[in-house]
Amino acid sequence: MYDVKGNLRQVLGQLPQGVRLVAISKYHPNEFIEAAYEEGQRVFGESHEQELRLKHESLPKDIEWHFIGHLQTNKVKYIAPYVTMIEAVDSLKLLKEIDKQATKCGRVIDVLLELHIAEESTKYGLRLDDCRQLLADGEWRELKHVRICGLMMMASLTDDCEQIRQEFMTAAGFFDEVKQQFFADAPWFCERSWGMSDDYNIAVGCRSTMVRIGTMIFGPRIY
Ligand SMILES: *Cc1c(COP(=O)(O)O)cnc(C)c1O
Model pLDDT for residues 98-157, shown as the tens digit of each residue:
999 999 999 999 999 999 998 877 778 999 999 999 999 999 999 999 999 999 999 999
Model pLDDT for residues 41-82, shown as the tens digit of each residue:
999 999 999 999 999 999 999 999 999 999 999 999 999 999
Residue 194 Cα to ligand 1 midpoint, Å, equals 10
> Which three-class secondary structure string do you get for the chain?
CCCHHHHHHHHHHHCCCCCEEEEECCCCCHHHHHHHHHCCCCEEEECCHHHHHHHHHHCCCCCEEEECCCCCHHHHHHHCCCCCEEEEECCHHHHHHHHHHHHHHCCCEEEEEEECCCCCCCCCCECHHHHHHHHHHCHHHHCCCEEEEEEEECCCCCCCHHHHHHHHHHHHHHHHHHHHHHCCCCCCCCEEECCCCCCHHHHHCCCCCEEEECHHHHCCCCC
- Looking at the CA of residue 198, tell me the nearest atom of ligand 1: 7
Residue 52 Cα to ligand 1 midpoint, Å, equals 15
pTM of the predicted model over 0.85: yes
pLDDT at residue number 1 = 64
Q: Choose one of 10, 28, 65, 68 to mutate for the ligand 1 pocket test, by most ligand atoms within 8 angstroms of C-beta.
A: 68
Model pLDDT for residues 207-217, shown as the tens digit of each residue:
999 999 999 99
pLDDT at residue number 121 = 74
